[in-house]
Amino acid sequence: MKTVLVLSGVLGLALAASAQNYGAAINLAHKAVTKTENASNADPDAQSQNSAPPPQAAQPMDPALAATLQNIAHLRADLIDLSTNATVSEALTNDLISAATGTKPSADTVAKVIGDLQAVLKDKPALRGHFQQFAQYLHASANGAHLNPAQFAMISDNLEKILEDGGAPYAATEDLLDDLKHLERETQ
């Protein structure tokens, strides 16, 4: 019986000691949280300024990228002009030829693509919202050396879907896709 009482007493003391350590740990945690909150509430701008990285100087744009973006913008403007005027502008021909960064397409191929574009865009105002994509696709097609077959297939599929949804005539769409494929092959 004495053994049970002694063990009970020792166990009680051990529990009391661990409870004190637990309480001390909780108090330390509360103090740390309070200290952190006080520091962050003192000057919130100072902390955000210290953690923000210093501003970096703007990187100069790659000249090839700048030329590509400029050509796409010109092609888009040419498409807008083509959709509102019945005549083909010389700018569209020049911009489509200059889109090719390697082998230039023949004037005959460019004329066919432009004629197809005229047929597709005629009286189709719903397509005007897609001229940025058209310009990108034209630019990419004029750079066949930079396209793999899967990329050109994606361009053709996307263009066909846009034209179909926009109400373009089926025959004109097929002619455009065939001539773009010829343009892509010619510029490889």
Domain count within the chain: 2
Q: Are residues 75 and 36 in the same domain?
A: no
Do 131 and 173 have their domain in common? yes
Q: Which residue has the higher pLDDT, 167 or 54?
A: 167
pLDDT at 54 over 70: no
Task: Give the model's pLDDT for residue 72.
Answer: 96
Place 57 in a pLDDT band, splitting at 50, 70 and 90.
confident
Q: In terms of domains, do 68 and 103 share one?
A: yes
Task: Give the per-residue SS3 of the chain.
Answer: CHHHHHHHHHHHHHHHHHHHHHHHHHHHHHHHHHHHHHHHHHCHHHHHHHHCCCCCCCCCCCHHHHHHHHHHHHHHHHHHHHHHCCCCCHHHHHHHHHHCCCCCCCHHHHHHHHHHHHHHHCCCHHHHHHHHHHHHHHHHHCCHHHCCHHHHHHHHHHHHHHHHHCCCCHHHHHHHHHHHHHHHHHCC
56 occurs within a structural domain: no
pLDDT score of 16 more than 70: no
User: What is the rounded average pLDDT for all residues in the chain?
Assistant: 82
Instruction: Check whether residue 75 and residue 159 sit in a common domain.
Output: yes
Say yes or no: 99 and 32 in one domain: no
Are 47 and 85 part of one and the same domain?
no
Q: Tell me what the mean pLDDT of segment 71-90 comes to.
A: 89
What integer pLDDT is reported at residue 89 of this predicted model?
78
Whether residue 47 lies inside any domain: the answer is yes
Residue 58 lies in a domain: no
Between 35 and 10, the higher pLDDT residue: 35
Amino acid of residue 132: Q
| Predicted confidence (pLDDT) per residue in 158-174, tens digit | 999 999 999 999 999 99
- Residue range(s) defining the domain that contains residue 123: 63-186
Is 23 domain-assigned? yes
Residues 44 and 68 occupy one common structural domain: no
Give yes or no: residues 99 and 20 share one domain.
Answer: no
pLDDT of residue 146 exceeding 60: yes
Cα distance between residue 95 and residue 176, in whole Å: 17
27 and 87 in a single domain? The answer is no
Are residue 42 and residue 81 in the same domain, yes or no? Answer: no
Flag whether 107 is in a domain.
Answer: yes
Lowest mean pLDDT among 20-29, 54-63, 165-174: 20-29
**30-47: pLDDT as tens digits:** 565 566 666 656 555 555
